[in-house]
């Protein structure tokens, strides 16, 4: 992921054992929120700035990064039993696959622009 | 689980309880006998019985609807049902059978037996469990109210839009249908969360996932399927309701809508749904076959994984219901292949069951007959299913009686026979008496012969071109000789009567078993069974187990009774069932904690049809219903899952409040 | 698990929208009617509410009642701001000619964002209920766990919006 989240992982280790069970400190949460805000700003800028061919990929990647960040840190998934991670992402993957298949039968991905 | 401080001797003496107050107003229910004990129960066993009884009632309703259809089609130019009524009849027959019989029956069996099979004392969220049952019951009643309020739904159980939209289906029937299913959908979702949590968290010590009985495993897969499939039909039903009630244009072709949208959404739900219907019965016979073959289930890991595979691959085949809808060759080819693929795990199961029976010391009790019947009849249905997967041949078969034949063989021959096998197998556990074997035999043969006479000819009817959902047929189109459709329609109708008599025999059997003074209480272990649910009384005590058993094998009960000599591979009985029970209960747990009764679940469930009724007739009522929902949810969340000790008057003073770890039912 | 099934629910609504967003027989097109700056602010508000939610959970785990209540109330307020923004947006669109029944785009847009808005509102009710029950000392069991559960729901509602904002608003524009 981005260097920003790696940084917060380092600070997490220095917090000691209580942090590892209950997650991060308040300061780290604020830090993550600022990152999310910055990512949102980039997203919004696509409205104003012409990204050319990078438009779609940028937005989609940013969307995924924000999604995973909130889920892993705010929803604590990163620190929970691995089983929950499997459960959540498998449900998500199923939903995405099924609905993309559904849209594919409507030739959605072959449309122009 | 949680800790309580109440000695075991007082658990049997609930009648001296003093109810506490909730919100200072109504007292919390504490009755342990009588109708109130059923209305406010949170006990998984009572709920299981209620689920099954309600489902059986709807089975009869659906069966009568079917008989009416067959009466109409027995002769040419039938006059029994006009076209409109006929449409309602086949729609409601299917809806009732699928949503109000098979699904709740499976839920009833799951509710009763999953906690017993995993060595737990109840499910994870007992009040949500009660809510699920009442929501199902009220949803089912709501759905059927339409018969009396202007006509039932008439768009087919798959309710294709735009035909089901306001222009082509102006009566309220479909609104009742959509809203009723939303309510039962909520019940299923809540139940799924409940049972998954129960299985993952509350197994007895030593019971790893791969030591669980297959019935529990199959039900676990089913709950996951429900969890993910119900929201999809929820979306579809919302879109339909918005179109019908608020003028949205989702299925309005003149606004540019795509009629396939409904079909896709429905079948993305619909295909996992049919696996939801069949897997519980697969689980039941995976229990029954080993017991009556005196052999363990062949290939336990294969049966588990094929069940999971069916659940998983089942998501990728939905458009095989839409081969003739103009999807285009690429989509059709993809789904054709995936449909062929799903035959594989099912075949694996059939092989495993057959190998279980092979070389066993077979005892053809009625439960065993039904189980073997399932293997044979489901396979027939499965074979016709394979012919559907070949898209070119499906183009001829679709919307004909050939398809009707297929799904009745798999549903009746599969799901229903499995359920009946479960009835005869587990009746002594639930009620303490065994159903009469002789009557059961008659029950079985009438059902099987009736079923084959009814649905067998439909293969011919279908291939000769008789379409589905046609309310009448004429002599002119009936053909001649062996393929005279008239003759086969008559045979099918006669078959349906024979089938009906078979079901009647089952009911007679129930009455006879319970009314007759001659039938003895069943012994502790009537079938010499293998799994944990048999290590309890019949019927089980309210807290199920005096001591939670320590599990060290798959088929734990079997291993406590028998020892295998590894050199000669012979099996020797070392303990009788009575001895095993005595040893287990030698030191009963001192303090057993059971969740308390509550009236919030039934009240919350009641608020849902109020909202639904309001949507159709009187929008003010919706607000009333919504307020009721909100208030009951609040009341519920403020009530502890177990009432404090000062609720009851124990013989000795309690040792202070227990600390419960039950989460409030938020998710 | 419930949230997993909600993924399927919103997936269905999003897919329906994706299918229908181009079908505008009457009324305005997506790129004509969306006000990206306004919606961006709304999105930012909701995102920050996730932060305040997590601070509330953290306070609950520390048994810091005052701060927990504080952050819960702020989260609810931010959520209410978001919903208010949605209501404003809907009325503005309606006045510009996009009604629920105007076109398929209209129907699917309002349904998708409407469902999301309802989920946010339910979340707000739950948050206020937590504060209220806390005041009356009525929360049974482990307080931190209950707050955490509501938090999970709240974050889910936020991430659904992350997806909606990108797919519905940003991409067509």
Confidence grade of residue A15 (pLDDT, cut at 50, 70, 90): very low
Q: Is A110 on the interface with C (CB under 8 A)?
A: no
Q: Which residues of C touch A62 (CB under 8 A)?
A: 166
Residue A90 domain flag: yes
- Examine the domain organization and report whether A86 and A110 are in the same domain: yes
Note the pLDDT tens digit of each residue in B536-590.
888 898 888 888 889 998 888 888 888 887 777 777 788 888 888 888 888 887 7
Confidence grade of residue B656 (pLDDT, cut at 50, 70, 90): very low
- Examine the domain organization and report whether A53 and A91 are in the same domain: no
pLDDT at C12: 81
How far is it, in rounded angstroms, from Cα B78 to Cα B453?
A: 20
Residue A69 domain flag: yes
- Residue matched to tokens 């320590």: B550
CB B203 within 8 A of CB B212: yes
Give bridge partners of residue B564 from the DSSP assignment: B571
Residue A64 domain flag: yes
Chain C: touching chains (3 or more CB pairs < 8 Å): A, B
- For chain B, the residue count is 667
Chain A: touching chains (3 or more CB pairs < 8 Å): B, C
- Examine the domain organization and report whether A58 and A47 are in the same domain: yes
How far is it, in rounded angstroms, from Cα B67 to Cα B71?
A: 6
- Examine the domain organization and report whether A45 and A88 are in the same domain: no
How far is it, in rounded angstroms, from Cα B100 to Cα B106?
A: 10
**Are the Cβ atoms of A106 and B258 closer than 8 angstroms?**
yes
Q: Is B109 on the interface with C (CB under 8 A)?
A: no
CB B105 within 8 A of CB B48: no
Confidence grade of residue B651 (pLDDT, cut at 50, 70, 90): very low
Res B521 pLDDT > 50: yes
Phi, psi of B16 (to 5 degrees): -95, 15
- Examine the domain organization and report whether A85 and A64 are in the same domain: no
pLDDT at A111: 64
Residue A68 domain flag: yes
pLDDT at B406: 96
**Are the Cβ atoms of B228 and A105 closer than 8 angstroms?**
no
Res C141 pLDDT > 60: no
pLDDT at A77: 76
Residue A106 domain flag: yes
Q: Between A66 and B108, where is the model more confident?
A: B108
Residue A12 domain flag: no
- Examine the domain organization and report whether A73 and A85 are in the same domain: no
Q: Which residues of A touch C43 (CB under 8 A)?
A: 40
Chain B nearest CA to A106, separation (Å): 8
Count: domains in chain A: 2
CB A20 within 8 A of CB A12: yes
Q: Give the highest mean pLDDT range of B78-82, B253-257, B370-374, B516-520.
A: B370-374
| Number of neighbours of residue B353 by Cβ within 10 angstroms | 26
CATH superfamily, with its number, for domain C2-13+36-170: Cytochrome c oxidase, subunit III, four-helix bundle (1.20.120.80)
DSSP state of B574: -
CB B198 within 8 A of CB B115: yes
Res B650 pLDDT > 80: no
pLDDT at B478: 81
**Are the Cβ atoms of B249 and C103 closer than 8 angstroms?**
yes
- Examine the domain organization and report whether A37 and A53 are in the same domain: yes
Residue A102 domain flag: yes
Q: How large is the average pLDDT for residues B511-528?
A: 83
**Are the Cβ atoms of A22 and C61 closer than 8 angstroms?**
yes
Res B260 pLDDT > 60: yes
How much of chain B, in percent, has pLDDT values that exceed 70? 91
Label residue B77 left, alpha or beta by phi (over 0 means left) and psi (-120 to 50 means alpha). left
Interface probe for B, chosen from A101, A103, A107 (most Cβ of B below 10 Å), is A101
User: Which A-chain residues 39-98 have CB contacts (< 8 A) with chain B?
Assistant: 83, 91, 94-95, 97-98
Q: Which residues of C touch A36 (CB under 8 A)?
A: 47, 50
Q: Is A108 on the interface with B (CB under 8 A)?
A: no
- Examine the domain organization and report whether A107 and A68 are in the same domain: no
Residue A3 domain flag: no
Interface probe for B, chosen from A105, A106, A110 (most Cβ of B below 10 Å), is A105
Note the pLDDT tens digit of each residue in C71-128.
999 999 999 999 999 999 999 988 888 888 888 888 889 999 999 999 999 999 999 9
Indicate the residue of C23, C141, C149 with minimum beta-carbon distance to B256: C23
- Examine the domain organization and report whether A55 and A96 are in the same domain: no
Confidence grade of residue B212 (pLDDT, cut at 50, 70, 90): very high
**Are the Cβ atoms of B249 and C19 closer than 8 angstroms?**
no
**Are the Cβ atoms of B315 and A98 closer than 8 angstroms?**
yes
Q: Name residues whose C-beta falls within 8 Å of residue B206's C-beta, 6 or more positions apart in sequence.
A: B550, B551, B552
- Examine the domain organization and report whether A72 and A86 are in the same domain: no
- Examine the domain organization and report whether A62 and A28 are in the same domain: yes
Note the pLDDT tens digit of each residue in B325-368.
888 888 899 999 999 999 999 999 999 999 999 989 999 999 99
Structural domain harbouring A31:
24-79
- Examine the domain organization and report whether A87 and A72 are in the same domain: no
Of chain A, the end-to-end C-alpha distance in Å amounts to 29
């Amino acid at each position: 992921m981005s260097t920003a989240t790696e940084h917060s992982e380092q600070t997490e280790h220095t917090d000691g054992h209580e942090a590892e069970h209950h997650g991060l400190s308040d300061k780290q949460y604020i830090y993550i929120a600022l990152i999310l805000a910055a990512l949102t700003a980039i997203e919004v800028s696509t409205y104003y700035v012409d990204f050319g061919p990078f438009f779609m990929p940028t937005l989609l990647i940013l969307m995924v990064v924000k999604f995973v960040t909130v889920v892993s840190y705010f929803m604590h998934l990163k620190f929970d039993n691995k089983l929950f991670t499997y459960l959540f992402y498998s449900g998500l993957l199923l939903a995405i696959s099924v609905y993309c298949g559904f849209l594919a039968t409507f030739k959605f991905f072959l449309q122009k622009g | 689980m949680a800790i309580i401080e109440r000695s075991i001797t007082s658990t049997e003496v609930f009648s001296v309880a003093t109810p506490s107050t909730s919100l200072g107003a109504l007292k919390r229910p504490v009755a342990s006998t009588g109708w109130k004990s059923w209305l406010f129960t949170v006990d998984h066993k009572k709920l299981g019985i209620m689920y099954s009884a309600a489902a059986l009632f709807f089975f009869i309703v659906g069966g009568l609807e079917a008989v009416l259809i067959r009466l109409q089609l027995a002769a040419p130019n039938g006059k029994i049902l006009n076209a409109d009524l006929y449409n309602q009849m086949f729609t409601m027959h299917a809806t009732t059978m699928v949503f109000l019989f098979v699904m709740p029956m499976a839920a009833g069996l799951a509710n009763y037996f999953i906690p017993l099979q995993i060595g737990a004392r109840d499910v994870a969220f007992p009040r949500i469990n009660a809510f699920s049952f009442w929501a199902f019951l009220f949803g089912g009643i709501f759905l059927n109210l339409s018969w009396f309020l202007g006509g039932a739904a008439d768009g087919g159980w798959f309710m294709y839009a735009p035909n089901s939209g306001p222009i082509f289906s102006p009566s309220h029937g479909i609104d009742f249908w959509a809203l009723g299913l939303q309510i039962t959908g909520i019940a299923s979702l809540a139940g799924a969360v409940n049972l998954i949590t129960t299985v993952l968290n509350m197994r007895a010590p030593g019971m790893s996932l791969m030591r669980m009985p297959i019935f529990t495993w199959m039900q676990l897969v089913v709950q996951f399927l429900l969890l993910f499939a119900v929201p999809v039909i929820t979306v579809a039903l919302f879109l339909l309701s918005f179109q019908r009630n608020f003028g949205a244009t989702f299925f309005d072709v003149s606004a540019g809508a795509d009629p396939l949208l409904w079909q896709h959404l429905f079948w993305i739900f619909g295909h996992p749904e049919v696996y939801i219907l069949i897997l519980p019965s697969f689980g039941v016979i995976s229990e029954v076959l080993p017991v009556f073959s005196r052999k363990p289930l062949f290939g336990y890991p294969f049966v588990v994984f094929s069940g999971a595979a069916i659940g998983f691959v089942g998501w990728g085949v939905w458009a095989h219901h839409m081969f003739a809808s103009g999807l285009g060759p690429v989509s059709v080819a993809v789904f054709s292949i995936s449909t062929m693929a799903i035959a594989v795990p099912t075949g694996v199961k059939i092989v495993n069951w057959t190998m279980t029976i092979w070389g066993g010391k077979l005892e053809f009790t009625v439960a065993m007959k039904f189980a073997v019947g399932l293997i044979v009849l489901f396979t027939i249905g499965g074979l016709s299913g394979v012919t559907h997967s070949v898209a070119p041949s499906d183009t001829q078969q679709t919307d004909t009686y050939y398809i009707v034949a297929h799904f009745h063989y798999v549903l009746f021959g599969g799901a229903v026979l499995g359920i009946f096998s479960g009835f005869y197998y587990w009746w002594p556990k639930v009620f303490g008496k065994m159903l009469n074997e002789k009557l059961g035999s008659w029950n079985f043969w009438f059902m099987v012969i009736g079923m084959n006479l009814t649905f067998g000819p439909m293969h011919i009817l279908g291939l000769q071109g008789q379409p589905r959902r046609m309310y009448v047929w004429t002599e002119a189109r009936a053909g001649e000789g062996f393929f005279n459709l008239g003759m086969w329609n008559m045979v099918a109708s006669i078959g349906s009567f024979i089938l009906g008599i078979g079901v009647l025999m089952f009911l007679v059997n129930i009455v006879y078993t319970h009314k007759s003074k001659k039938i003895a209480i069943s012994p502790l272990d009537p079938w010499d069974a293998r799994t944990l649910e048999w290590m309890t009384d019949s019927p089980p005590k309210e807290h199920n187990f005096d001591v939670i058993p320590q599990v060290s094998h798959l088929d734990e009960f079997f291993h406590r009774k028998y020892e295998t000599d590894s050199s000669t591979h012979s099996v020797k009985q070392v303990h009788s069932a009575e001895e095993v029970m005595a040893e287990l209960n030698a030191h009963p747990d001192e303090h057993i904690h059971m969740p308390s009764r509550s009236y919030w679940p039934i009240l919350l469930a009641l608020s849902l049809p109020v909202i639904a009724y309001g949507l159709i007739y009187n929008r003010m009522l919706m607000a009333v219903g919504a307020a009721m929902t909100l208030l009951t949810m609040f009341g519920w969340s403020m009530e502890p899952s177990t009432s404090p000790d000062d609720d009851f008057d124990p013989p000795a003073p309690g040792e202070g409040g227990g600390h419960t770890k039950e989460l409030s039912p938020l998710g | 698990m419930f949230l997993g099934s909600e993924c399927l629910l919103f997936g269905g609504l999003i897919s329906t929208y994706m299918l229908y967003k181009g079908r505008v027989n009457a009324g305005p097109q997506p790129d004509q009617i969306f006000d990206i700056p306004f919606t961006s602010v709304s999105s930012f508000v909701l995102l920050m509410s996730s932060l305040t939610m997590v601070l509330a959970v953290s306070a609950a785990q520390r048994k810091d009642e005052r701060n927990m209540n504080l952050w819960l109330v702020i989260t609810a307020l931010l959520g209410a701001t978001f919903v208010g923004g949605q209501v404003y947006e809907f009325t503005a669109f309606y006045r510009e000619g996009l009604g629920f029944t105007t076109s398929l785009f209209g129907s699917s847009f309002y349904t998708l964002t409407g469902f999301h808005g309802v989920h946010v509102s339910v979340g707000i009710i739950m948050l206020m209920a937590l504060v209220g029950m806390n005041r009356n000392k009525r929360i049974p069991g482990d307080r931190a766990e209950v707050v955490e559960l509501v938090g999970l729901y709240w974050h889910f509602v936020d991430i659904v919006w992350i997806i909606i904002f990108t797919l519905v608003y940003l991409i067509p524009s």
